[in-house]
A = this chain, B = another copy of it.
């Protein structure tokens, strides 16, 4: 493969082609511990669309698979290397090309870090909603590839809802431009939304035009605690029914609460479940929204509710939610799952996770985006124990089966990657799988991009 390496060096410069295994191993996998990974032939770091095109053409000529990669913060193994592949890392393409405040849009390269974009547009009084938990280091390219979500989704949707257009390098090295710069547009197939969430299997996104929103008001915050999980679940369903759309609505179960209490050395007095809601509607509207939610919580049997307009206090109240994963590390390694169920089924999902926890003999903490039913049951295990790792994987799969049985999906926001291939097939069935293969075959006939991820050809 020396001939390919020579071509890659010609394409991006020798310094941007990494082949030392000690170095390339850092690009071998993302943050999902259970997904398989292999050893790449090389890692390349292009700085322009033209360089990406040259890399793709070189790899195509040598029939060498390409695994596109952003920061590697993914949780499905979708950016994991396979043996002998070229990992194409987009982090050096990190220019915010344009912020058009008058048309509320931004044009960015894929390597821009989510938080950097948020900061850049905030200066213009604008807001880029998608806020995955890794927003301080994940890249927009990765967000686009996985159709990332976050805490904002209950009000503002997932990544695809903020994308107007893309530039994508296809398998033959040609450059596809999808979408538009206008708010609306229905000319042709919606290729933009086909590529968003395709997890690097159809091409390499080299530029994106993103829709921005007006910067919302500073959030008001409400917390409510419940002695019974079912009551918290009922409260979420009733909030939906009342027609209130909070800008954030998170839930923590007893195991999460206990872990955070131990980690922060505090008593949350939270009982079986804690709900945290925010409204960014501002002023009277925010007070009205939170008052409705508070009344629903009380009517549903909340043990305690507390609301505040104070920004710092609201941030403190969110600290508990944000600390869950770190707090769980006290017990061991964690493996976070990702299912989305109808909002009426949240309590059933939590109860089911308690049963699964007992069945496999591992602690499972359930945290999640209650407002949209997207839950992250997180399994704690001893990484040094093969047996516990196996039981963690068993629990992981049992939770996915439970999510499907409750009318849900096996991925709310993390994607399929190399960890849920069989579950995708189960969820979408043989016709769905066939259509996936037909589209993949049509756009990437040589199976160049991320082969074996998401589904097997």
A25 to B285, CA, bound (A): 54
B340 and A103 within 8 A (CB): no
Chain A residues 253 to 311 lying within 8 A of chain B, measured CB to CB, are 281, 283-285
**Residue from the list B182, B194, B240, B423 in contact with A340, Cβ < 8 A:** B182
Contacts of A31 in B (CB 8 A): none
B374 and A183 within 8 A (CB): yes
B436 and A443 within 8 A (CB): no
CB-defined interface of A197-238 with B at 8 Å, one 1/0 digit per residue?
A: 110000000000000011100000000000000000000010
A131 CB–B CB distance under 8 Å = no
Which 8 pairs show the lowest CB-CB distances between chains A and B? A214-B243, A442-B442, A183-B372, A185-B409, A193-B193, A438-B442, A182-B340, A184-B412
| Contact status of A177 and B432, CB under 8 A, knowing A185-B340, A214-B245 | yes
CB-defined interface of A137-161 with B at 8 Å, one 1/0 digit per residue?
A: 0000000001101000110001011
Contacts of A439 in B (CB 8 A): 189, 439, 442-443
B193 and A194 within 8 A (CB): yes
Chain B residue with the shortest CB-CB distance to A244: B214
**Residue from the list B214, B413, B416, B423 in contact with A184, Cβ < 8 A:** B413
Residue numbers of A with Cβ under 8 A of B are 100-104, 125-126, 146-147, 149, 153-154, 158, 160-161, 170, 174-178, 180-191, 193-194, 196-198, 213-215, 237, 240-245, 281, 283-285, 340-344, 369, 372-374, 407-416, 420, 423-424, 427-429, 431-432, 435-436, 438-439, 441-443, 454-455
B184 and A344 within 8 A (CB): no
A43 to B94, CA, bound (A): 55
**Residue from the list B103, B198, B214, B441 in contact with A343, Cβ < 8 A:** B103
How far is the CB of A319 from the nearest CB of chain B, in Å? 24
A187 and B411 within 8 A (CB): yes
| Contact status of A180 and B409, CB under 8 A, knowing A188-B416, A241-B102, A414-B186 | yes
A281 to B284, CA, bound (A): 12
How far is the CB of A407 from the nearest CB of chain B, in Å? 6
B153 and A184 within 8 A (CB): yes
Query: 20 other contacts beyond A185-B409, A214-B243, A283-B285, with CB at 8 A cut-off?
Result: A102-B343, A149-B184, A158-B184, A160-B190, A182-B372, A183-B340, A183-B343, A184-B413, A185-B340, A187-B410, A187-B416, A188-B424, A188-B427, A188-B428, A188-B454, A189-B197, A189-B439, A190-B193, A191-B435, A439-B439
How far is the CB of A70 from the nearest CB of chain B, in Å? 16
A432 and B178 within 8 A (CB): yes
A102 and B408 within 8 A (CB): no
Contacts of A443 in B (CB 8 A): 435, 438-439
Contacts of A242 in B (CB 8 A): 214
A186 and B415 within 8 A (CB): yes
B182 and A412 within 8 A (CB): yes
A455 to B191, CA, bound (A): 15
Contacts of A174 in B (CB 8 A): 431
Contacts of A185 in B (CB 8 A): 340, 409, 411-412
B183 and A153 within 8 A (CB): yes
Chain B residue with the shortest CB-CB distance to A198: B189
A175 and B431 within 8 A (CB): yes
**Residue from the list B175, B177, B182, B237 in contact with A373, Cβ < 8 A:** B182
A373 and B184 within 8 A (CB): yes
Contacts of A241 in B (CB 8 A): 101-102
B341 and A182 within 8 A (CB): yes
B432 and A182 within 8 A (CB): no
How far is the CB of A152 from the nearest CB of chain B, in Å? 11
Chain B residue with the shortest CB-CB distance to A372: B183
B408 and A240 within 8 A (CB): no
Contacts of A215 in B (CB 8 A): 243
A438 to B440, CA, bound (A): 10
How far is the CB of A8 from the nearest CB of chain B, in Å? 24
Interface centre among A103, A244, A416 (most CB of B within 10 A): A103
| Contact status of A188 and B153, CB under 8 A, knowing A245-B214, A432-B176 | no
Contacts of A411 in B (CB 8 A): 185-187
A431 and B177 within 8 A (CB): yes
How far is the CB of A172 from the nearest CB of chain B, in Å? 9
How far is the CB of A431 from the nearest CB of chain B, in Å? 5
